[in-house]
Amino acid sequence: MATIRNVSVLVILSVLFISCGDNRLDVDVSDIESDVEIMRFEQDLAAYLSDTSVNDLTPIRKQYGEFFDMFTHQVLGIPQENDTMIAMNLRFFLKDQEVAEVMADVDSAFSDVKDIKKEMDSFLKHYRYYYPDKEVPKVVTYVSAFNYAVITTHETIGIGLDMFLGKDYVFYPRMGLPKYLSNRFSREYAVVSVIRGWYESDYDVRDVKKELLSQMVYQGKLLYYLDAMAPDMADTLKTGYSAEQLTWCEENEASIWAFFIENKLLFNTSPSEYLKYINEGPTTSGFPKESPGKVGAWIGYRIVQQYMKKNPDITLVDLLNEKDANAILEKSGYKPQK
């Protein structure tokens, strides 16, 4: 059975970003080929199983490779039995009244995915530029009844289209999700969520030291990665922040940093303490209500940005492979002034 490299649950929970204007990331990818084929798994699965006499899953399993088994057994939790039983359970899923309604809404909203293909082509061109020896993943769409927004395996990026049906989509409030999250459940957030999910699959947060500074720098690296992979994407999409929230961060950068220093938080290893500064939220604990969530991630980005400016010989890959967050901080010379 295929193993999920990393499942990014609700990866639309984006991190913070501010345009860096870093010319090092203004790279020429015009000669790099990318012609993404977006495979519509949700449509192909429904069409294949529409004939109730068909129970041999070999053709669609072959078509989708490890993604089929991963989706079936790990996402939907269908036991690994014979094909007849698996097909029966997949039909139960597809015929569920709410799933059928969501599938119809996805078919309508995403009848044309040319915009997503264009953005994915740009992302994968940049990915090839920075990682010329790595395989470029296949792109697959699916519907998982709001379980996963993005799924990555070794060979596939999966986009859960049911998580990008618009902030006012009828099912989102029923899930009990706060408005600051569902505001990002829109089509325009799909590709930035994919890029974030792919970063998290290559650079697993579980390998990061459990302290505030290391977690902040990890998030800062992610922001820099987003900037490298999607240089033309709007800042608000990369952040999930409003323009006003980004301005608040800029104007209060020195005060935010001073708060972390004065309260001796950088090397705090208590998750109950440091997570509130990097976890998603309508605002950040300990800061004014005007602050956005996860201001620690934003400061992490500023540290990484300064580090890359001061160390021009460091490549993007070098940055992402450097595990010593304190070394990055020291070599960045980061010290915002009021």
User: What tens digit of pLDDT does each residue of 226-269 get?
Assistant: 999 999 988 888 877 889 999 999 999 999 999 999 999 999 99
Q: Give the Cα separation of 274 and 102 in Å (integer).
A: 37
Q: Average pLDDT for residues 29-56, to the nearest whole number?
A: 94
The separation between the first and the last C-alpha atoms of the chain, rounded to the nearest angstrom, is 55
pLDDT in tens, 216-228: 999 999 999 999 9
The pLDDT tens digits for 280-305 are 899 999 999 999 999 999 999 999 99
**CA–CA separation, 137 vs 156, rounded Å?**
5
Average pLDDT over residues 118-124: 95
Residue 10, pLDDT above cutoff 80? no
Chain segment 137-186, per-residue pLDDT in tens: 999 999 999 999 999 988 899 999 999 999 999 999 988 888 888 889 99
Q: How far is CA 286 from the centre of its chain?
A: 26
CB neighbours of residue 143 within 10 Å: 24
Nearest-angstrom CA–CA distance, 128 and 49: 36
- With tokens 């999700």, the residue in question is 177
Average pLDDT over residues 24-36: 91
Instruction: Flag whether pLDDT at 213 surpasses 70.
Output: yes
What is residue 21's predicted lDDT score, i.e. its pLDDT?
47
Is pLDDT above 60 for 6? Answer: no
pLDDT at 72 over 80: yes
Range 46-64 average pLDDT: 95
Does the pLDDT at position 11 exceed 70? Answer: no
What is the reported pLDDT for 22?
60
- Long-range own/partner contacts, residues 328-334 (CB < 8 A, 24 or more apart): 328/217, 328/303, 328/304, 329/213, 329/217, 329/303, 331/307, 332/303, 332/304, 332/306, 332/307, 333/306, 334/257, 334/302, 334/303, 334/306, 334/307
Predicted local distance difference test score (pLDDT) of residue 14: 38
Q: Look at residue 8 in the predicted model and tell me its pLDDT.
A: 41
pLDDT at residue 2 greater than cutoff 60: no
Residue 256: the pLDDT is 96
- Please tell me the pTM assigned to this model: 0.89
- Asked if pLDDT for residue 12 goes beyond 60, the answer is no
pLDDT in tens, 76-109: 999 999 999 999 999 999 999 999 999 999 999 9
| pLDDT tens digits, one per residue of 308-321 | 999 999 999 999 99
Mean of the per-residue pLDDT values of the chain: 90
**How far is Cα 321 from Cα 316, in angstroms, rounded to an integer?**
9
Which of helix, strand or coil describes residue 182?
A: helix
Cross-strand pairs, 7: 151
CB-CB neighbours of 184 under 10 Å: 23
Is 50 exceeded by the pLDDT of residue 20? no
pLDDT at 120 over 80: yes
Q: How confident is the model at residue 3 (pLDDT cuts 50, 70, 90)?
A: very low
